[in-house]
Structure 1
């Protein structure tokens, strides 16, 4: 993807209390056989991950730090991936935030506790090119 060319897909991943699934979700995007996409990840102010510790019966790992750590470990500075941290406003507002940041020709909304089959974006691309009147479609995972 060149700097001036818009990606075919913008994959938008809202996150709220799903940090435990994020690594698998991001890996599934990164491992797509079709690479003409951008991936916009938005942490919707997740409150943190509660864990037990000897110091405190309930301790929270800061969500923004945890999400960034997972994001960085998977994406390894891949320019197609962008991470945004914002205050909690709910799922609809978070999706709208991602849509506003998107530059792709088509949108894919991916829940952060789901993942993509590695050929899904390629198959969707072929399908969309063959059907000029399609404006929206849903995929079974």
Structure 2
């Protein structure tokens, strides 16, 4: 990984910023994982890069649309809880049950915070999808629907 400090020319909106990048080519040769064979060679490349000036000769902007991850099903909830939080499957299911049972509201009614735990169906009824789309448009605008 190459850390880069990027300085714009005078009169631009932003003076400088930095970002990380990966060195994929050096001296017109494509680098792979084993291209640099010694510490001395790596230091030599680092010195050449540090003493060089670079110029951006072009840029390209793309719009990307990334879909959200699928909703949890029982198995993926347990896997993520185990991998990220080190929870056992039984502890995860106890917590999920408490979320399903919900919280007590001021009007003495309980409100569940998640759907039934062992319902692994991913289908959303057309009417529900329509209602959700309307709510998204109302709150966030047509661009997000």
TM-score calculated relative to the size of structure 1: 0.27
Structure number having the greater helix percentage: 2
Structure number having the greater strand percentage: 1
TM-score calculated relative to the size of structure 2: 0.27
